[in-house]
Chains A and B, each alone.
Chain A
Amino acid sequence: MPKLSRILLVDDDQTTNYLNQLLLKRLDVAEQLQVALNGQEALNLMQDYGETAATPQPMLVLLDVKMPVMDGFEFLQAYAELPVSHREDVVIVMLTTSLHPQDVERVQQLNIAGFLNKPLTSEKINDILQQYFH
């Protein structure tokens, strides 16, 4: 199983972040784990990452949909406008609990690697790694 250099978790729920971090640590799939509490924080980090070679971009972003300040959709919109160098080799997977057909349809139309229903499980992590980093 490959080990990713960096995974960014974007979720406003601290408990979810805690549990996801716990899971990812237990699976030992990443060198570094970083947390952003909303889309804006994540966007700031993504901008910073590209600036210096010392802080490489995350290989995987696990993105929540419903967040304050800037939600997952807004983040993706803003992210798409970053220079290409900031977006190379970044896999974004959305995590959602929303069943609303509108939301599901919207997510399906996004230019992202994929979307998963919460909660995150070891099986789902394995699937992502198999699919995008094998």
Chain B
Amino acid sequence: MTDSRPLTAAELAAENAHLRQQLQEAEELITAIRTGTIDALAVQAPGGPRIFTLEGADQSYRTLIEQMNEGALLLSQSGTVLYCNACLAGLLAIPLESMMGVAFHDFVPLDYHAYWQGLLTTGWSGKSKGEMPLISTDGRMHPFAVALNVLTFEHTPVLAVIVTDVSAQREISDIQAQVAEQNALLERQNETLRSQAQAQREAEQAAAETTRILEGIPHIAWTANPEGHNTYLNRRWFDYTGEDAQSKAQHQFGALIHPEDLPGALQHWSQCIGSGQALEIECRIRNAAGEYRWMLGRALPSRNEQGEIIQWIGAYTDIHEHKLAQQRVAETQQQLRENYEQLTRINRDLDNFIYTASHDLKAPINNIEGLLQALLPELPAELAASPSVQPILAMMQQSVDRFKRTIEHLTEVIKLQKEHEQPAALVDMSVVIHEVSLDLAPLIQATGAQLEVSLGTCPHISFSEKNLRSIVYNLVSNAIKYHAPNRPPRVQVRCHHEDGITVLEVQDNGLGLNLANTQRLFSMFQRFHDHVEGSGIGLYMVKRIVENAGGRIEVASEIGVGSKFSVYFRRENA
């Protein structure tokens, strides 16, 4: 319509009717093509009408194409849709009649224009394939596989395009991927199960090995799970308790442990389960004969590589005899302790008695002496001096003196007991002997005694100096006092080592002693001779001093020849 003149209403109506006619013809044509009623069509071309024959396209093929589930279309060289089957129209949600004559290009997303152009180019040169989305009329994109083939109709090439919806395939591949993933997961789980089973087998083997070992040991052996429940008992248990090994009943330790030992045992066991510390208990367990025997129960936790307790392995050892022996020792020790305490008490009482006695005796004897002295001035001088009264007064005074001396000796003994642990020092023996000889000078002079000292290799003795002087004093004074009347006393003081022990000897040529009862010799207030002044306390004191310091005293004597006292001092650092 190059003419620019406005058309009249009649002309427009005629044009409209013409166009409607053309549309009618086109639709009929399409229907005819689709249904196969026509085999060829003529198209008005600039060079005259051209006839398009649908080569080999008989009705059955067309029906096939119309019925198939892939989209099919024919494109002209300009990319115009010459033909399209119902499937493709459906896929693109477009009325079939609207497809004809449109540019297929319009259904290709902008991003794929170049790709589509590439496919077209390749397709026109023979065939091509690709995958790309197409846009349906509702604006949604769908994935498609496209296959392009050049066909020739009456020497005119057209491009046949088969369009396959691949969205379903995509879903399948998604599902397949999921299946694969699921399968892989299953495989991994199976692998885990297999390794667990292997571990289980190994654990069972280990347990079986443990059991085999535990069956072989000569003690009751058991295992328990980490919660403390018994899982195994070896044959010894059943031998000991008389329980039936085949019985499925739960073996209750509790029922066989002595009721007195049970609470402590259970408490300790639960502590061990909680802390993982080794179990060690002593308890009595009843045997098949109904007798309780002492058992030492020990258990250690067995741990895996992670340090978790996997089981407890324990054993019971019969310690009955040992325990009874222990109890007997404990009882004996208790007895000894009681005896010791009793002796200590008696000793203390005895000390107190001596204190009290000396105190209580002192007051009256002092009074008697005082009264005696008070009486003397009251007596007429001639009476006091008379031969019948004077000796009586003298004897009274002597008795009082002796009484007082006895009390003094008792006091000495008390002091000695109190000085039990005098510190030892290295004492120069020659000094001690010299001092003692000075103290005894009147006695030595009176008797004409001869003192011979030979200290040899031990000029020093480690001892309490005061006590050592007391020993030397008593032994030397005794040696002089009890001299034989027919010869002057000769006293030898010697020192020597004997098996590393220092020995002090005091030997005299005196009266000698009857040694039938040496025990009595060293007792308190024992006197073997009564012709000289003596209290009978000296040797007792010497013995006490020596023995308190861990040494001993020996005596050798012959009547009429003399005596020898030997003091063995305890070896220092022995």
Task: Please pick, from A13, A66, A101, the residue contacting B367 in the complex, using a CB distance under 8 A.
Answer: A13
**Chain B interface size, under 10 / 10 to 19 / 20 to 34 / 35 or more:** 10 to 19
- Taken together as a complex, chains A and B put the C-alpha atoms of A118 and B364 apart, in Å, by 11
Residue of A nearest to B411 (CB): A99
**B323 part of interface (Cβ distance < 8 Å):** no
Binding site secondary structure of chain B:
helix
Q: Is the CB of A98 within 8 A of B363?
A: no
Which of the residues A22, A97, A100, A101 comes within 8 Å of B362, measured between beta carbons?
A97
Shortest CB distance B378–A (Å): 11
Question: How long is the Cα–Cα vector from A101 to B359 in the complex, in angstroms?
Answer: 13
Size of chain A's interface in residues, with CB distance under 8 A? 13
Determine whether A16 belongs to the interface, using a CB cutoff of 8 Å to chain B: yes
User: Is A109 interfacial (CB-CB < 8 Å)?
Assistant: no
Q: Which residues of A contact B359 (CB under 8 A)?
A: 66, 97-100
Chain B residues contacting A19 (CB-CB under 8 Å) are 367, 370-371, 374
Q: Judging by beta carbons under 8 Å apart, are A119 and B366 in contact?
A: yes
B358 at the interface (CB under 8 A from A): yes
Asked if A85 is an interface residue, CB under 8 A from chain B, the answer is no
- Tell yes or no: A15 within 8 A of B by CB: yes
Separation of A118 and B407 alpha carbons in the complex (Å) = 14
The reply to whether B367 and A15 form a contact with Cβ atoms under 8 Å apart is yes
Complex interface bits, A2-14 against B, C-beta within 8 A gives 1, otherwise 0: 0000000000010
In the assembled complex, the Cα of A22 lies from the Cα of B355 at a distance in Å of: 29
Which residues of chain B come closer than 8 Å to A15, judged between CB atoms? 364, 367, 370-371
Contact between chains at B371 and A16 (CB < 8 Å): no
Interface membership of B414, Cβ < 8 A:
yes
- Chain B residue, CB-CB nearest to A22: B374
Q: Which of A22, A99, A118 is close to B363, meaning CB atoms less than 8 Å apart?
A: A118
Residues of A within 8 A of B363 (CB): 13, 16, 97, 118
Those of A78-100 within 8 Å (CB) of chain B: 97-100
Q: Does the CB pair B367–A99 fall under 8 Å?
A: no
Contact residues of A: prevailing secondary structure: loop
**Given the interface contacts A15-B367, A19-B367, does A100 sit within 8 Å of B355 by beta carbon?**
yes
In the bound complex, what is the Cα–Cα distance between A98 and B369 (angstroms)?
19
Q: How many whole Å from B176's CB to the nearest CB in chain A?
A: 107
On whether A99 and B371 interact (CB within 8 A), knowing A16-B363, A118-B362, the answer reads: no
CB-CB contacts below 8 Å: A11-66 with B:
13, 15-16, 19, 22, 66
Which B residues lie within 8 Å of A16 (CB)? 363, 366-367
Interfacial residues of chain B within 343-397, with CB under 8 A of chain A in the complex: 352, 355, 358-359, 362-364, 366-367, 369-371, 374
**Are A101 and B418 touching (Cβ within 8 A)?**
yes
Q: Which residue of A lies closest to B355 (CB)?
A: A100
A16 CA to B370 CA, complexed, in Å = 9
For B352, B359, B364, B369, which residue has the most chain A Cβ atoms within 10 angstroms? B359
**A122–B355 Cα gap in the complex (Å)?**
26
The CA-CA distance from A22 to B369 in the complex, in Å, is: 14
Query: Which residues in B have their C-beta under 8 angstroms from that of A98?
Result: 355, 359
Residues of chain B within 8 A (CB-CB) of A101 are 418
Q: Which chain B residue has the least Cβ–Cβ distance from A101?
A: B418
Chain A residues with CB under 8 Å of B411's CB are 99
Contacts of A118 in B (CB 8 A): 362-363, 366
Closest residue on chain B to residue A11 by CB atoms: B363
Nearest residue (CB) in B for A19 is B370
Residue of A nearest to B373 (CB): A19
Give the residues in chain B near A119, CB-CB below 8 Å.
366-367, 369-370
**For A13, A22, A99, which residue has the most chain B Cβ atoms within 10 angstroms?**
A99
Name the CB-closest residue of A to B368. Answer: A15
- A22 contacts across to B, CB distance below 8 A: 370, 374
Q: Could you list which residues of chain A lie within 8 angstroms of chain B, going by C-beta atoms?
A: 13, 15-16, 19, 22, 66, 97-101, 118-119
Mark B residues whose CB is within 8 Å of A. Answer: 352, 355, 358-359, 362-364, 366-367, 369-371, 374, 411, 414, 418
4 tightest A-B contacts by CB?
Answer: A119-B366, A19-B370, A15-B367, A97-B362
Knowing that A16-B363, A100-B352 touch, tell me 4 more A-B residue pairs with CB under 8 angstroms.
Answer: A22-B374, A98-B355, A99-B355, A118-B366
Pull 30 A–B residue pairs with CB atoms less than 8 Å apart, ordered by A: A13-B367, A15-B364, A15-B367, A15-B370, A15-B371, A16-B363, A16-B366, A19-B367, A19-B370, A19-B374, A22-B370, A22-B374, A66-B359, A97-B359, A97-B363, A97-B366, A98-B359, A99-B358, A99-B359, A99-B411, A100-B352, A100-B355, A100-B359, A101-B418, A118-B363, A118-B366, A119-B366, A119-B367, A119-B369, A119-B370
